[in-house]
């Protein structure tokens, strides 16, 4: 099991109530399941609209269960941003 950091941005940060927290998971899917359990309610809805970076690389359309997490890695949770 890898241990790393999840960083929440914008609406995800507001829904989680924290800017970042540790994860202990093998895959992105497991890390996000843990986040949903720790922060029931609004975060689950926000996560459905988010994009994710794992160690700086975009996840894109890959299945979250196929995205392996590295020891000491970082998951960035990026909700859609309004542009201007």
Predicted model pTM:
0.93
For all residues of the chain together, what is the average pLDDT? Answer: 95
Architecture, CATH, for domain 2-78: Roll (3.10)
How far apart, in whole angstroms, are the C-alpha atoms of residue 30 and residue 38? Answer: 12
Inform me whether the pLDDT recorded for 84 exceeds 50.
Answer: no
pLDDT in tens, 30-74: 999 999 999 999 999 999 999 999 999 999 999 999 999 999 999
Could you tell me if 8 and 74 are in contact, meaning their C-beta atoms sit under 8 angstroms apart?
no
Inform me whether the pLDDT recorded for 83 exceeds 60.
Answer: no
Which helix H or strand E contains 4, and what residues bound it?
strand 2-8
Q: Where are the domains of the chain?
A: 2-78
């Amino acid at each position: 099991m890898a241990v790393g950091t999840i960083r929440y941005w914008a609406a995800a940060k507001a829904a989680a109530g924290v800017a970042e927290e540790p994860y202990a998971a093998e895959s992105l899917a497991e890390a996000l399941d843990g986040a949903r359990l720790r922060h029931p309610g609004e975060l689950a809805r926000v996560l459905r609209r988010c994009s994710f970076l794992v160690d700086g690389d975009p996840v894109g359309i890959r299945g979250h269960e196929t995205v392996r997490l590295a020891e000491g890695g970082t998951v960035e949770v990026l909700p859609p941003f309004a542009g201007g």
